[in-house]
């Protein structure tokens, strides 16, 4: 007798549209979807899926992901653990808490360390997993520890060092460990200045990022200078920045190659920010994948730079 997931997880929903749960607004349905509000919920859902050999995927804020047009043939666990606490300079937040909430609440208390994330979309779990960064700051900068669910479905606490943070990466990406919550240590600062910096970063995003269209955030990572041919470094020397080590912004390469506005179906290389692919309305995952491949091929042929996607494909 084949056991149904719903027998082990009665609250699970069937055939749930995933597009509305992502910032790209693209993709087919999840075969099953479960809203996890606590660590026990997460363990229960993973345990049920594992027992019947069903693949599962963790989804939180829905940024930095592209869902297949066919959807996900398995269980999507929606992280709804939204609890957060602030005690003195120590901040602890569940994986489902939005980054914008933390930026606002810590700034309001005059705590410095997260203002670089002003306007950053997505959740704490996603930011930790991908070591999200902007304006010279990174998630890892203020992390004390991360509570995780390991391969044996046991709760463990990893120190900052044990998280193996790298450029837009971490041990969570490498080993597919599940972030439950994160603890940050911030510094007391000037409330007005902290809020001014965060607001300035939000305004910068509104001005230069194509927020008027659904998108997944930056499509490609910036290129580590070590992987950029010397002659290309010379050509783009005025565009090189430290983030947090010397990188050549992908936006500069795409702009110089005049790829803004290039389309595939209803997916378009943004005319406002070249490192974004936007959904003009009704774009499919197939459109985005095809456009991504074309951009990578052109940049590789023209500059000898291999672009690496920052957005994760869910199929």
The set of catalytic residues is 168, 218, 310
Q: What string of DSSP letters covers 35-104?
A: EE-SHHHHHHHHHHHHHTT--EEEESS--SEEE-TT-EEEEEEEE----EEEETTEEEEETTSBHHHHHH
Alpha-carbon dihedral of residues 108, 110, 115, 117, nearest 10 degrees? -50
Tokens of 238: 């005025």
- Residues contacting residue 90 through CB under 8 Å, at least 6 positions apart: 144, 183, 184, 185, 186
- Identify which of 308, 310, 315 has the alpha carbon closest to the alpha carbon of residue 285: 315
Q: What are the backbone angles phi and psi of residue 185, rounded to the nearest 5°?
A: -115, 120
């Amino acid at each position: 007798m084949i056991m149904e997931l719903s027998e082990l997880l009665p609250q699970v929903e069937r055939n749930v549209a995933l597009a509305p749960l992502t910032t790209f607004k693209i993709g087919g349905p999840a075969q099953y979807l479960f809203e996890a509000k606590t660590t026990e919920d997460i363990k229960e859902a993973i345990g049920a899926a594992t027992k019947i050999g069903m693949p599962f995927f963790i989804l939180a804020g829905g940024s930095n992901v592209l869902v297949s047009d066919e959807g996900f043939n398995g269980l999507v666990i929606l992280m709804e653990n939204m609890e957060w606490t602030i005690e003195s300079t120590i901040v602890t937040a569940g994986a489902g808490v939005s980054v914008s909430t933390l930026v606002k609440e810590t700034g309001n208390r005059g705590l410095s360390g997260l203002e670089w994330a002003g306007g950053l979309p997505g959740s704490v779990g996603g930011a930790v997993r991908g070591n999200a960064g902007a304006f010279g700051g990174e998630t890892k900068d203020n992390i004390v520890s991360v509570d995780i669910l390991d391969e044996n479905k046991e709760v463990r606490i990893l120190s900052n060092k044990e998280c193996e943070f790298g450029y837009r990466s971490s041990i969570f990406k490498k080993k597919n460990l599940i972030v439950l919550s994160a603890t940050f240590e911030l510094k007391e600062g000037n409330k007005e200045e902290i809020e001014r910096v965060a607001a300035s970063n939000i305004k910068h995003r509104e001005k230069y990022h194509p927020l008027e269209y659904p998108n997944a955030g930056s499509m490609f990572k910036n290129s580590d200078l070590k992987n950029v041919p010397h002659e290309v470094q010379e050509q783009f020397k005025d565009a090189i920045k430290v983030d947090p080590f010397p990188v050549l912004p992908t936006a500069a390469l795409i702009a110089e190659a005049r790829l803004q506005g290039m389309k595939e179906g209803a997916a378009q290389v943004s005319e406002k920010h070249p490192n974004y692919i936007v959904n003009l309305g009704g774009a499919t995952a197939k459109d985005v994948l095809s456009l991504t491949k074309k951009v990578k091929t052109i940049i590789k042929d023209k500059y000898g730079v291999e672009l690496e996607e920052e957005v994760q494909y869910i199929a």
